[in-house]
């Protein structure tokens, strides 16, 4: 009897996004003014100075965040689409030599998750 063995490639997904809880906490402590709160979420297109062409093309190449996550909601969301996810700290990873890849300043005020499927 011949058997066909199917092997699936596996990989590791690492997501680094702004931490909603951290931003809200800064607002509640008075570190962010109410007039600046939405800007801190980075969910809106920012006005662009320059030529008309740049202003027209800007929404096509600018990617503000469409969703916000915290340490609870990010792994829950990944789980609902079939991933097994864990929250990680900066430079904590199953990715070899993560310190060669990750930019420390991009992890400030961020929630980080690693997931496999």
* Residue 14 to residue 1: CA distance in whole angstroms: 41
Q: Evaluate whether residue 4 is within a structural domain.
A: no
Closest CA to 110 of 41, 12, 13, 22: 22
- Name the DSSP letter for residue 34: G
Range of the domain at 104: 13-116
- Per-residue pLDDT of 49-58, as tens digits, reads 666 776 677 6
- Name the DSSP letter for residue 81: T
Percent of the chain surpassing pLDDT 90: 58
Which backbone phi and psi does 90 adopt, to 5 degrees? -55, 140
Count of structural domains within the chain = 1
- Per-residue pLDDT of 47-101, as tens digits, reads 666 667 766 776 666 666 778 999 999 999 999 999 999 999 999 999 999 999 9
For residue 58, give both structure tokens: 């800007």
Helices H / strands E in the chain, number of each: 5, 3
For residue 113, give both structure tokens: 């998750």
């Amino acid at each position: 009897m011949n058997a066909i063995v199917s092997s699936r490639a596996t990989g590791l997904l690492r997501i680094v996004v702004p931490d909603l809880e951290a931003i809200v906490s800064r607002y509640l402590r008075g570190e962010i003014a109410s007039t600046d709160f939405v800007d801190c979420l980075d969910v809106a297109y920012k006005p662009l100075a320059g030529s008309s062409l740049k202003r027209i093309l800007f929404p096509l190449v600018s990617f503000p965040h469409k969703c916000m996550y915290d340490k609870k909601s990010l792994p829950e969301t990944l789980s609902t689409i079939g991933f097994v996810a864990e929250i990680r700290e900066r430079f904590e990873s199953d990715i070899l030599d993560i310190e060669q890849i990750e930019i420390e300043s991009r992890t400030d005020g961020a929630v980080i998750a690693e997931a496999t499927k």
